[in-house]
Each structure stands twice: as structure tokens, then as C-alpha cells.
Amino acid sequence: MANTNLLHVTDADFNKTVLESKLPVLVDFWAEWCGPCRMIAPIVEELARDYAGKVVVAKMDTDANPQTPVKYGIMGIPTLIIFKDGREADRIVGAVPKAMITRKLDAILK
């Protein structure tokens, strides 16, 4: 079953989808070949369901969309960046437990 709460963003629609969003946006920068990215993918999908209506959850394939990761200085993947009001509010690098991500999201939603 496809998760309709999970968006896939590209370099072309990043500004509109992420930076102009009224809600905070969690962007998962990932790549197909990245093992840790595959490890956290189910967590990112759960977050999209858990935070539906409160946070927009998006994934960006860094191989297909190289401009945005360079702009944000992404050196390693997975990197999760939480954007709020068009600016980076927090960043998580590496495969981390779901609790760590939810703690950061909850802090931004306060």
C-alpha cells in the first residue's frame, strides 16, 4: 500500500513543496544504493502517517536531484532536515532511532 502522506520532492519542486509549506517539512535525503537509508525508510514512512496533517514528510533521491543536497551541504546520507517557515530548523545525520526523530519533530511543533 502506497503511503499518500509521503511526498517525493525534486530539485525542481523543492522550493514550492518544502520552503513554501505552511507546515514544517521533514525531508529525507537518501539514495537507492545507501544501506542506512533503506534501514530508516520504514521509520520515515511511519512518521508520514503519525504526523499527517501536522508535518509534511518528503524524500529526495540525492542521485536524481544533486542540486538541493549541495545547496544544503549534505555530506552523508541519510540526512534528515526539518524545515520550518522556509528555513532549516534541525538536522539529523545517519540512521537514528525513531524516538530521536519524533523528539526533534515534537520540539519544532511546540
Active-site residue flag, 34: yes
Residue 61 has φ and ψ, to the nearest 5°, of -75, 110
Active-site residue flag, 26: no
Q: Which of 6, 7, 9, 37 is catalytic?
A: 37
Q: Which of 18, 34, 44, 55 is catalytic?
A: 34
Q: Which positions are annotated as active-site residues?
A: 34, 37
